[in-house]
Structure 1
């Protein structure tokens, strides 16, 4: 109850007492002594009223002090409960944050391990494929170097044979010996350059003719026949300085007749439609005869071209065989190109899958980074809230 309420009560009681006193005085002492009695009663009433007000003020003061004490005790209890609640909330929040941090660290660790493992697997596969490719390439280069070494050795041997042509003339005086020499030289050249499955020696054609060698080449070249010819007698007479001019001219005419006959025989015997290529090769085992034809007898060379018979010496035949080997190698590569394309397509698919998985992984990492950043933001806000609460408590204590 407030002080105003008690003042109203006191005023009401005073008014009631005054009215009762007037009634009593009117009944007891009518006349002139009424004013004195009223004054006296009024004085007593004022004194009683003062005492009552003093008592009332003391009671109000005591009640106010008790109320203030109760309010302070209640406020202290409330503050203590708030402090306990804050401590419990801090402990629980700290515990939850630690658990979340541990869980997040574990997830990041597992994600990192998974990424490392996938990258290791991918790197291992790429390294293996590259290693296999390098090994095949190195093997190819090694084979090429070996073949070139064989070609160099054969070229040296051919050069030695060419240098010894003059000394061999006496040995090769017999036609059979010359034919055997040409076939042996042809066989040595071919075996040094081409694999066995791509040529055949003493090959029999459908017309019953036997070619010294048949090269098996892919389309559109087709199979090419090689026949060795060695017109040494007429050439020897033609170049003999001890013979007369007429004899040398006669030998020259015979030399041209022999060469043309060999060209026509090769064209008629070894060029068969739908079985062999549209040309054949005549192998001249002596470089000197080949040089003589190209230097002094262009008409014979043109006749050979017209009949599609290609004149070769040991050196030029080596170039022809090397070209044939390149053609065979290109054909083998072309046959295997679909396998290479399949592997490239599979490699492209693997790389596409790798790129998609890497993009998904990057998205997960970005999302994890955003979540961590949001967690840091929430932690900062919570810390700021605690700081503000501590400031409020400190201000209350200061008051």
Structure 2
């Protein structure tokens, strides 16, 4: 038997090996068998793939059917939800429409009310404007008054007198009094406990102050006006200290009244030397508000002094009240003793009454063997006690 690697009649030579026809046939058979196996395997794979495709198709069909069912259910749910949403939106729109109508109505009412209040305020503004116009006329008259030195002094003094008269009772102050040195301050205020009076003076150099205001941006004129104002204030402080501070007759301190809060602030801000000199001279510069505060303090001091003066009267009334209270307590205790005695007599009468009831019950039951003679003394004892109780009640009345 010839080998497949027989070198007889080689068809071709592969490398160093000759390839014959038998070898070629064996190789072809092997290739054919491999091709057949490949075709079989391919057919099997195709059938498996077909089965898998069918299974996937069935799965897809089932999923599609399920999806269609879910879509139908979702369509139904969405329809229901859409209906509910439409109903809810309609209700909310109706509620919003109602609230909007109510709000518009309330806003209309509020607008009318605001317009009414605005009209009232405009009327008030018109009245205030008329008052301002009349006040401007009064200010013009006030400027005319202040242009005259005597009338200006009378204006400052009248303002000081108004503050003092409103804050203190009659008799606690005196306007334009005459002191022992024949000087006449604008006002003296009586102090409690026999203390010397307090002097209040209303002099103020308004011409110098107006010169400072009229100087404007002129530095030299302002400096000259300031020096003149300082000199005039020092003269007023010296006059008050020399004329109105009298030992034993007036207080050691006097008030210099400035009839304007703004002027008072300017003095303390730009003329500190005047304030310090007035303090050293025991002169206190006061504005209307400070004078009013001082008047209120003095009024409190006077009220406390009057209360201390009346303290002995109050104490005497309290002593008499305690005496009356002691007598009332004594009489209440006596009345309590009378009531206690009367209660004892009433208890004795009740005891006698109980005994009489028991004896009556025995008599009614024909208990004749008891001692009948003793009932009479019991009855007489009860009558005597009742008579004594009546006498006591009559005596107490």
User: Normalised by the size of structure 1, how large is the TM-score?
Assistant: 0.53
Q: What does 1:9-158 align with in structure 2 at a 5 Å threshold?
A: none
Aligned counterpart, 1:345: 319
C-alpha displacement at 1:250, in angstroms? 2.0
Higher relative contact order (CA 8 A, sep 6+): 1
2:275 to 282, 301, 308: 301
Pick the structure with more helix per residue: 1
Q: What does 1:247-262 align with in structure 2 at a 5 Å threshold?
A: 247-262=221-236
C-alpha displacement at 1:316, in angstroms? 1.8
Are positions 1:313 and 2:287 aligned together?
yes
C-alpha displacement at 1:244, in angstroms? 0.6
- What is the alpha-carbon distance in structure 1 between the residues aligned to residue 260 and residue 197 of structure 2? 25
* Greater Cα offset, 184-193 or 201-210: 184-193
Aligned counterpart, 2:163: 189
2:266 to 265, 279, 292: 292
C-alpha displacement at 1:224, in angstroms? 0.7
Aligned counterpart, 1:174: 148
Task: Flag as ranges the 4+ runs of structure 1 deviating above 6 A.
Answer: 164-167
Q: In structure 2, the residue corresponding to 1:203 is in which secondary structure?
A: coil
Q: In structure 2, the residue corresponding to 1:196 is in which secondary structure?
A: coil
1:265 to 239, 251, 273: 239
- What is the alpha-carbon distance in structure 2 between the residues aligned to residue 283 and residue 188 of structure 1? 13
Aligned CA-pair RMSD: 2.9
- What is the alpha-carbon distance in structure 2 between the residues aligned to residue 311 and residue 210 of structure 1? 19
Equivalent pairs, count = 236
Q: In structure 2, the residue corresponding to 1:197 is in which secondary structure?
A: coil
| 1:268–1:360 Cα change, 3 Å | same
| 1:273–1:196 Cα change, 3 Å | same
C-alpha displacement at 1:304, in angstroms? 2.1
Aligned counterpart, 2:49: none
> C-alpha deviations, 1:150-169, integer Å up to 9, x for none?
xxxxxxxxxx99xx879845
> C-alpha deviations, 1:285-307, integer Å up to 9, x for none?
22221121223333322322222
C-alpha displacement at 1:270, in angstroms? 0.7
Aligned counterpart, 1:225: 199
Aligned counterpart, 1:362: 336
* Greater Cα offset, 192-201 or 260-269: 192-201
- What is the alpha-carbon distance in structure 2 between the residues aligned to residue 366 and residue 220 of structure 1? 60
Aligned counterpart, 1:8: none
Segments of structure 2 that go 5 or more residues without pairing to the other structure are 1-133, 371-397
